[in-house]
Amino acid sequence: MGRGVMVGVTVGVAVAACLVAGVVVGKRVKSRRKWKRVMGVLRELEEGCETTVGRLKQVVDAMAVEMHAGLASEGGSKLKMLLTFVDNLPSGSEKGTYYALDLGGTNFRVLRVLLGGQRSSILAKDVERQPIPPHLMSGTSEDLFDFMASSVKEFVEKEGNDSESSVVKKKELGFTFSFPVRQTSVLSGILIKWTKGFAIEEMVEKEVAQYLQEALIRKGLDMRVAVLAYFSLLIYSEQVNDTVGTLALGHYHDEDTVAAVIIGTGSNACYVERTDAIIKCQGLLTTSGGMVVNMEWGNFWSSHLPRTSYDIDLDADSPNPYDMGFEKMISGMYLGDIVRRVILRMSQESDIFGPDSSRLSVPFILRTPLMAAMHEDDSPELTVVAGILREVLEISDVPLKVRKLVVKICDVVTRRAARLAAAGIVGILKKIGRDGSGGITSGRTRSDVKMRRTVVAIEGGLYTNYTMFREYLHEALTEILGEQIAQHVILKETEDGSGIGAAILAASYSSSNSVDNDTDTVQPL
């Protein structure tokens, strides 16, 4: 090989090396640029979801203002502020065996609750859950209610020989009926329309409790339907509006309970209002001077809510645009899908999630429990995140820093949800003068204000199972109220308000009708 050839080869190798290096550097620059774009999307998300205490306080005020407006006139606010006609809440002294029938959708449950007469002692509870046979959902009212009444009968008879059943006594039953009903008293509500696949036209615009009562009589059951524990007017809501049951259960355990909040698939709240503050229903009289109002707070809206393009798109793609704006930001039905939308956007801006996955475009494919599992993944390599990305979204082999990014997105979305829910709760407290702000005007500082112990009953799968959500909510509550006041506000978790709560409500209505009336009346303030 001559010298000239050697030089030529060396130069050639050097040129090739430069080219390779150039490609590598070029790739790095490109990937850095892509990462920068993704970080831009994240920053935008964080800014869009910002919930400073200042902003949360604006949401608090907006909630209180909307509550006023919804109480002032029908249609005065996006908050429907429905009257429930519940003016007696359980005191804890109720005794005896009570039943509940919970027709929530495709299933119904019969419950028996044995109350011992002393607060906190629910001695026993039995539950039997059954599917409604599909043909009964669009058959006749008689067939549907006879079917349920038979189950109740069987259930009651299974009670056997225990002491309670041998006493000849009318049994009391609370009926939770989760369809749109116009309530006219505790006992009576008129079905506005069927939802969730039911279609028994003859019942529309008729009294619902009547059908159950008649079916019970046909089955030879001496039972009184004590309360129609049904509370929703919301046509689109697929949610069981069981907040009143939750409030009843909360009040049974703790008489300082003034409100109840549910944060599960959907979200709603109710609270005890003074009847004279319910302006849209002039002359409303209750013995207690108070009444439970079902807010339907999922439909709350305010321009102070921090809204992102993902929320706008989610709303536009939903079957009920412009409806349930608050619920779409805070409840379990939606949080996972907001996260999916952010990941989708990032994957469109870059290839950090690898080649396009068609799964990412499937609405609601990322359920909120999966999102929670990723958020709470504490393995050093984030193996849970990797697993869910792979199995659910068909995104494989993403580096650790991308997995960390996914955790961050979950965090931003959940933190906003939890903090807004906290602001909603404080909004209720503000409306009823329990937020500790009452004394500020007279020159006293907040810490001087005498604050009454205030309990809010809370339940729902999102709050109960998602630890980070719960912690963010508690943290925000303290931030908004200030530590001094927050000490007096207690969130108490209840369990199964829609079932047990309805039975206990039946109990309190039963004893309030008896001579030795020791049921608590609802004390509004």
b/e code 309-339 from CB counts within 10 Å (16+ = b): ebbeebbeebeeeebbbbbbbbbbbbbbbbb
Could you list the beta-strand ranges (E) of 244-329. Answer: 257-263, 267-274, 290-294
Distance CA 502, CA 500 (A): 5
Strand partners, 477: none
Span interacting with Mg ion, options 47-55, 258-266, 287-295, 431-439, rule CB under 5 A: 258-266
As given in the structure block, the two tokens for residue 468 are 């980070």
Span interacting with Mg ion, options 35-43, 260-268, 341-349, 382-390, rule CB under 5 A: 260-268
As given in the structure block, the two tokens for residue 170 are 């009318």
Q: Which is nearer to ligand ADP, 264 or 427 (CB)?
A: 264
As given in the structure block, the two tokens for residue 198 are 């039911």
The DSSP line for 191-236 is E----TT---GGGTTSBHHHHHHHHHHHTT--EEEEEE---B--SS
Q: Which is nearer to ligand ADP, 70 or 264 (CB)?
A: 264
Start-to-end Cα distance in the chain: 103
Span interacting with Mg ion, options 5-13, 20-28, 206-214, 232-240, rule CB under 5 A: 232-240
Among 210, 265, 320, 437, binds ligand ADP (CB under 6 A): 265
Q: Is 460 in the site for ligand ADP (CB under 6 A)?
A: yes
374 binds, among ligand ADP, Mg ion, none (CB under 5 to 8 A by kind): none
Q: Least CB distance from residue 465 to ligand ADP, whole Å?
A: 3
Q: Least CB distance from residue 89 to Mg ion, whole Å?
A: 20
Residues of span 20-79 touching ligand ADP by CB under 6 A: none
Site size for Mg ion (CB under 5 A) = 2
Beta carbons within 8 Å of 192's beta carbon, 6+ residues apart: 179, 180, 181, 182, 204, 205, 233, 235
Q: Is 466 in the site for ligand ADP (CB under 6 A)?
A: yes
461 binds, among ligand ADP, Mg ion, none (CB under 5 to 8 A by kind): ligand ADP
Q: Is 427 in the site for ligand ADP (CB under 6 A)?
A: no
Distance CA 112, CA 98 (A): 6
Among 56, 115, 223, 240, binds ligand ADP (CB under 6 A): 240
Q: Which is nearer to ligand ADP, 325 or 336 (CB)?
A: 336
Distance CA 216, CA 152 (A): 8
Q: Least CB distance from residue 498 to Mg ion, whole Å?
A: 6
289 binds, among Mg ion, ligand ADP, none (CB under 5 to 8 A by kind): none
Q: Least CB distance from residue 286 to ligand ADP, whole Å?
A: 29
CA gyration radius, the chain: 28
Distance CA 65, CA 214 (A): 43
Among 234, 342, 374, 462, binds ligand ADP (CB under 6 A): 462
As given in the structure block, the two tokens for residue 49 are 């979801």
Q: Which is nearer to ligand ADP, 149 or 476 (CB)?
A: 476
Residues of span 295-354 touching ligand ADP by CB under 6 A: 332-333
Token look-up 């200042």 returns 54
Contact 259, 290 (CB under 8 A): no
Q: Which is nearer to Mg ion, 388 or 462 (CB)?
A: 462
User: Which residue's CB atom is positioned nearest to ligand ADP?
Assistant: 332
Residues of span 360-379 touching ligand ADP by CB under 6 A: 368-369, 372
Question: Can you give the binding site for ligand ADP, defined by CB under 6 A?
Answer: 240, 264-266, 332-333, 368-369, 372, 460-462, 465-466
Question: Can you give the binding site for Mg ion, defined by CB under 5 A?
Answer: 240, 264
